[in-house]
């Protein structure tokens, strides 16, 4: 859902989104399944018959009313009637807070029929009463709701500030938030109520809310006050089915900026409280309430259609039927960690609504999102180099200050030399004493210079290690995200109970190893930060000693030889500064190379996944003897040309005698009789024979092209024999030369 709640350019208060930032790794994603949880509301009347029962923490049983055996539904998490707000938060949302602080995007939205408890989960009990307490001047958290009963929004905000306050550098974090509602397909700002806002789309496909206010804050209490203010402005009206029915969809966006040694990481958390679907015969709505219900049902129907399309793997998903689906597009299919909490009422009279909710939640359980790597703002990408340049500038400034002191005090030193030439003013013992003092002073200056350079190198090494650890941490996050997305788990630390001995033991081993590596990296980061702080403190003390020696220096110099010697010492100090500059540049280049190596590693993994996908699709097409559409035939032709080009450029035609033209490539489009193999594919060679697609002869022409696909695919491919003979003639010519 990144970049969904942005303001259009020029609107004043723009929310920073993914379109306004750039990362060196933003083009690499990993698949992660949407996490689905179901929460059952307590019975409103203990005598009511129950249609839903909890079988386990992942399974529930639904009584359809016309069957003897209840139907079983499996989800990631199931919360019974006795579950608390704290249980729901710790299981579904708490782990996302740390991810947001690390630069990821995350979203949580509540789904269900009216009166099923969505607003209670997201906002807590009686949000209107909390707003009234705020108007009376009682702004404490306890006056609004107890800590245990508070909703996911307030708990998430509290945890964000808790993590920031416990961090080593709280000043490196900045928090801002926006709050809007969709009422009758009109977008309204809840923090700055006014007229309806427009929803636009930029040239990159990002949704922009024009004029939406974003408020920066540094206080947990201030955020809660803003939430209370927004909840008071939200449209809530009583109906026959729910006395505190939310008549609008509410979307809260929290943006966290984290200043790190490699740049400013931006994470965003989206918390959405959807209005409940309703039936007019049960709500007994008339007039305005009936119109509101129609808009709510229309937007939820569009959301349900999107869930059906995504779960079914449709190539095209229509998000444009509603403003709600446009804003939730990134949460459902974009670069975001997403949790859906479906709410159901257990009473038998709500059986139809409960069944619809369970069915949609089950379909959403098959949706896969593409997780974006931590966003690093472009303007801070050169932060380490700027830090090193500042260090070198300080060294050169210190050398210049020493030179100026020596030049400014030269006349006084000449007068001291003339006084020394008078034999009646100085005795030999005094001269010896001055020489010893000057020698001691010179040694102190040299030691101070050496100590400063040693401390600066230590700072440089600490910064270099921190950069390396940041990259190592990103690599481990990539491994964790990859394996947990394959296992369909929420991105979270593994507990002992999570280890299951099955066919995926390799994934469990890799996950545990990655988490152990990540823990070790975090400890190393903490240790090097402590080293850096201690080194900066020692360097400051050393600078103070150097300043004291500089003030004492002019009075002790009594000859041009000593002045020349100290000039040489300054020159050595200046050369050391140049050396540090070169080292800083080298370390910065090494860090950039490591970052690019990580990019290449991720790109290689994505390439292999694409090869597997193409191979599987090719096999399915051939086995099913499916007639290929025109655009797919063109893509296969381009694909075969790419194989020829890459094979020729890599020099693999030297293996022409063996016929291995396509080793380590995807299964090519040609006859099996030519002996081509594809060892690099995940499929066996038997998958490619026989093929219902028209083969290609030695001259690059299609044999019997009208058999399945119709007209031949152009342009024609170059002849293999002609390329081979051309290559051989080139070799013979070069050997003759």
Annotated binding residue 659: no
Was 162 annotated as part of a binding site? Answer: no
Q: In 3-state terms, what secondary structure has residue 281?
A: helix
Query: What φ, ψ does residue 211 adopt, rounded to 5°?
Result: 80, 10
CA angle 44, 49, 52 (to 5 degrees): 85
Using H for helix, E for strand and C for coil, what is the string for 135-170? Answer: HCCCCCHHHHCCCCCCCHHHHHHHHHHHHHHHCCCH
Give the angle 320-326-329 at the CA atoms, nearest 5°.
Answer: 115
End-to-end CA distance of the chain: 63
Please answer whether residues 358 and 372 qualify as being in contact, where contact means their C-beta atoms are separated by less than 8 angstroms. no
Predicted confidence at residue 542, as pLDDT, reads 79
Sites in the chain below the pLDDT cut of 50: 1-28, 128-137, 139, 141-145, 378-383, 410-417, 419-420, 422, 424-426, 491, 496-503, 648-737
pTM, entire model: 0.53
230 is in an annotated binding site: no
Pairing of strands 105-112, 337-344: parallel
* Whole-angstrom distance, CA of residue 208 vs CA of residue 3: 8
Residues sharing a CB contact under 8 Å with residue 333, sequence separation 6 or more, in sequence order: 310, 317, 367, 369, 370
- 517-520's contacts with Cβ under 8 Å and 24+ in sequence apart are 517/472, 517/476, 518/473, 518/476, 518/477, 518/480
* 104, 262, 587 from 23: Cα distances, Å: 12, 11, 20
Interstrand relation of 245-246 and 236-237 (parallel, antiparallel or unpaired): antiparallel
DSSP-derived 3-state class of residue 276: coil
Separation of alpha carbons 229 and 715, rounded Å: 65
293 marked among binding-site residues: no
Contacts of 700 (CB under 8 A, 6+ apart): 716, 717, 718, 719, 720
> Which tokens belong to 103?
């630069």
pLDDT at 493: 52
The reported pLDDT for the residue numbered 201 is 84
Rounded to an integer, what distance in angstroms lies between the CA atom of residue 366 and that of residue 31?
12
CB distance 284 to 240 below 8 Å = yes
Domains of the chain by residue range: 18-379, 382-609, 630-736
The number of residues making up the chain comes to 737
Q: Both tokens of residue 394?
A: 């300080």
- Candidates 274, 289, 256, 291; CA nearest to 327 is 274
Separation between Cα atoms, residue 538 and residue 516, nearest integer Å: 33
**Start-end of H helices in 312-427:** 323-327, 329-333, 351-364, 383-408, 410-420
Q: Helices 505-556 and 410-420, interaxial angle, to 10°?
A: 50
Question: How buried is 44 (Cβ within 10 angstroms: 0-12 exposed, 13-18 middle, 19+ buried)?
Answer: exposed
Q: What is the DSSP letter of 696?
A: B
* CB-based contact 271:122 (threshold 8 Å): yes
624 among annotated binding-site residues: no
Give strand pairing partners of 110: 273, 341
52-54 vs 59-62, strand pairing mode: antiparallel
Interatomic CA distance for residues 351 and 334, integer angstroms: 33
| 637 known member of a binding site | no
Q: What's the confidence (pLDDT) of residue 388? A: 62
Backbone angles phi, psi at 91, to 5 degrees: -80, -35
Residue 115 marked as a ligand binder: yes
Residue tagged 């995807």 (tokens): 666
Give, for 148, the enclosing helix (H) or strand (E): none
Buried b (16+ CB within 10 A) or exposed e, 151-162: bbbbbbbbbbbe
CA 22 to chain centre: 11
Quote the tokens at residue 396: 């050169």
Phi and psi for 16 in degrees, rounded to 5?
Answer: -70, 130
Radius of gyration of the chain (CA): 35
Distance CA 672, CA 548 (A): 85
Please calculate the CA angle 727-733-737 and round it to the nearest 5 degrees.
Answer: 145
Rounded to an integer, what distance in angstroms lies between the CA atom of residue 266 and that of residue 246?
A: 31
CB 293 within 8 Å of CB 185: no
Cα distances (Å, whole numbers) of residue 644 to 214, 496, 718: 54, 51, 8
CB atoms within 10 A of CB 456: 22
Q: Using a CB cutoff of 8 Å and minimum separation of 24, what contacts does 532-536 make?
A: 532/459, 532/462, 532/463, 532/466, 535/455, 535/458, 535/459, 535/462, 536/459
Residue with tokens 């708490």: 94
Architecture of domain 18-379: 3-Layer(aba) Sandwich (3.40)
Distance CA 554, CA 546 (A): 14
Which pLDDT value is given to residue 709? 38
Decide: helix, strand or coil at residue 730: helix
Residue 46 known to bind ligand: no
CB atoms within 10 A of CB 81: 14
Q: Are 39 and 121 in contact (CB under 8 A)?
A: yes
């Amino acid at each position: 859902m990144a970049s969904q709640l942005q303001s259009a350019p020029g609107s004043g208060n723009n929310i920073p989104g993914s379109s306004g930032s750039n990362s060196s790794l933003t083009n690499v994603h990993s698949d992660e399944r949407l996490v689905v949880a179901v929460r059952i509301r307590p019975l409103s009347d203990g005598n009511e018959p129950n249609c839903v029962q909890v079988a386990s923490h992942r399974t529930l049983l639904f009584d359809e009313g016309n069957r003897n055996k209840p139907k079983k539904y499996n989800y990631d998490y199931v919360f019974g009637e006795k579950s608390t707000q704290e249980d729901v938060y710790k299981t579904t949302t708490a782990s996302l807070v740390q991810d947001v602080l690390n630069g990821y995007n995350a979203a949580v939205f509540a789904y269900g029929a009216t009166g099923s408890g969505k607003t209670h989960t997201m906002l807590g009990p009686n949000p209107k009463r909390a707003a009234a307490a705020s108007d009376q001047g009682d702004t404490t958290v306890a006056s609004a709701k107890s800590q245990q009963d508070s909703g996911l929004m307030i708990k998430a905000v509290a945890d964000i500030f808790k993590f920031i306050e416990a961090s080593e550098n709280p000043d490196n974090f900045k928090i801002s938030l926006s709050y809007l509602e969709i009422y009758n397909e009109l977008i309204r700002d809840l923090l700055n109520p006014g007229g309806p806002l427009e929803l636009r789309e930029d040239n990159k496909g990002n949704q922009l809310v024009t004029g939406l206010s974003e408020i920066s804050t540094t206080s947990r209490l201030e955020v809660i006050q803003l939430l209370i203010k927004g909840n008071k402005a939200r449209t809530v009206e009583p109906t026959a089915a729910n006395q505190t029915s939310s008549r609008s969809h509410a979307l809260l966006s929290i943006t966290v900026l984290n200043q790190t040694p490699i740049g400013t990481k931006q994470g965003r958390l989206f918390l959405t409280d959807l209005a409940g679907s309703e039936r007019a015969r049960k709500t007994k709505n008339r007039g305005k309430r009936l119109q509101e219900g129609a808009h709510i049902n229309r937007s939820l129907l569009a959301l349900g259609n999107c869930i059906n399309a995504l779960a079914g793997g449709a190539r095209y998903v229509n998000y444009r039927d509603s403003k709600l689906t446009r804003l939730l597009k990134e949460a459902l299919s974009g670069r975001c960690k997403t949790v859906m909490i479906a709410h159901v009422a257990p009473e038998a009279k709500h059986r139809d609504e409960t069944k619809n909710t369970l069915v949609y939640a089950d379909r959403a359980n098959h949706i896969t999102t593409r997780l974006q790597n931590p966003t690093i703002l472009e303007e801070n990408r050169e932060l380490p180099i700027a830090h090193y340049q500042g260090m070198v500038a300080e060294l050169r400034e210190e050398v210049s200050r020493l030179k100026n002191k020596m030049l400014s005090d030269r006349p006084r030193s000449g007068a001291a030399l003339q006084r020394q030439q008078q034999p009646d003013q100085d005795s030999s013992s005094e001269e010896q004493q001055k020489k010893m003092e000057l020698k001691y002073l010179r040694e102190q200056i040299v030691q101070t210079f050496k100590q400063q350079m040693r401390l600066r190198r230590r700072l440089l090494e600490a910064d270099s290690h921190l950069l390396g650890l940041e990259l190592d941490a990103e690599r481990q996050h990539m491994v964790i995200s990859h394996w947990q997305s394959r296992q369909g788990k929420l991105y979270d630390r593994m507990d002992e109970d999570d280890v299951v001995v099955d066919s995926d033991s390799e994934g469990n081993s890799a996950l545990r190893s990655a988490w152990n590596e990540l823990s070790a990296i975090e400890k190393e980061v903490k240790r090097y930060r402590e080293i850096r702080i201690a080194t900066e403190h020692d360097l400051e003390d050393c600078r103070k000693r150097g300043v004291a020696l500089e003030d004492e220096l002019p009075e002790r110099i009594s000859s041009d030889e000593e002045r020349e010697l100290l000039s040489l010492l300054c020159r050595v100090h200046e050369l050391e500064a140049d050396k540090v500059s070169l080292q800083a540049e080298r370390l910065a280049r090494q860090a950039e190379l490591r970052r690019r190596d990580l990019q290449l590693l991720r790109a290689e993994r994505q390439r292999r996944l694409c090869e597997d996908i193409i191979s599987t699709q090719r096999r399915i097409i051939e086995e099913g003897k499916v007639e290929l559409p025109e655009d797919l035939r063109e893509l296969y032709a381009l694909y075969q040309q790419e194989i020829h080009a890459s094979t020729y450029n890599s020099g693999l035609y030297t293996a022409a005698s063996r016929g291995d033209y396509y080793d380590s490539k995807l299964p090519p489009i040609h006859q099996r009789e030519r002996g081509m193999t594809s060892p690099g594919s995940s499929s066996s060679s038997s998958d490619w024979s026989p093929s219902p697609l028209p083969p290609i002869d030695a001259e690059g022409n299609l044999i019997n092209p009208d058999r399945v696909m119709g007209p031949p695919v152009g342009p024609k491919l170059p002849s293999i024999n002609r390329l081979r003979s051309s290559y051989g003639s080139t070799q013979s010519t070069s050997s003759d030369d």
